[in-house]
Amino acid sequence: MSKTLKVITPFFTLGIGDILELSDDGNFYEFKQEEKFGQNTVDGGDYESLFSTSLSISVDHAKELIKEGYLSEEVVAQDKFVNVFDEIDALLKQYNHDLDEVNQDKAEVPACLKVEKTTVLSNLIKVLTHLKNLKK
């Protein structure tokens, strides 16, 4: 498993996007957060508030939460090169497939929703096709 896990569905006190990191001993995933609130001067005294929270879950529990869709393994894609034109081709393929499904859908979906989805997908296809044609 990776060294970091990302919350994709809120659970316990964690929200979407929170990151859990593997402990030094490799037995737990930990989330720690600390927030300080500004100093207030009341009656001549200085006051400060601090909110601190921490959560640890075992590696086995983390595996179960991944299976149940609460966590995902955080993939660091900083070194990964993505060719924009390959992404455009993949999106065009997906949007054209989605457009075909809208036209073939026999379900009782209101016509206005079908028209809206068709319009959005058609416009996305037009934009991506234009961008793809800019390739030299």
- 7 Cβ contact list (under 8 Å, min separation 6): 14, 15, 16, 17, 18, 19, 20, 70, 71
Where are the chain's structural domains?
A: 4-73, 84-133
> How confident is the model over 64-97, as pLDDT tens digits?
999 998 999 865 555 567 788 889 999 999 999 9
Q: pTM of whole model > 0.75?
A: no
pLDDT band at 103 (very low <50, low <70, confident <90, very high): confident
How are strands ordered across the β-sheet holding 45-58? 45-58, 28-42, 19-22, 4-7, 71-73
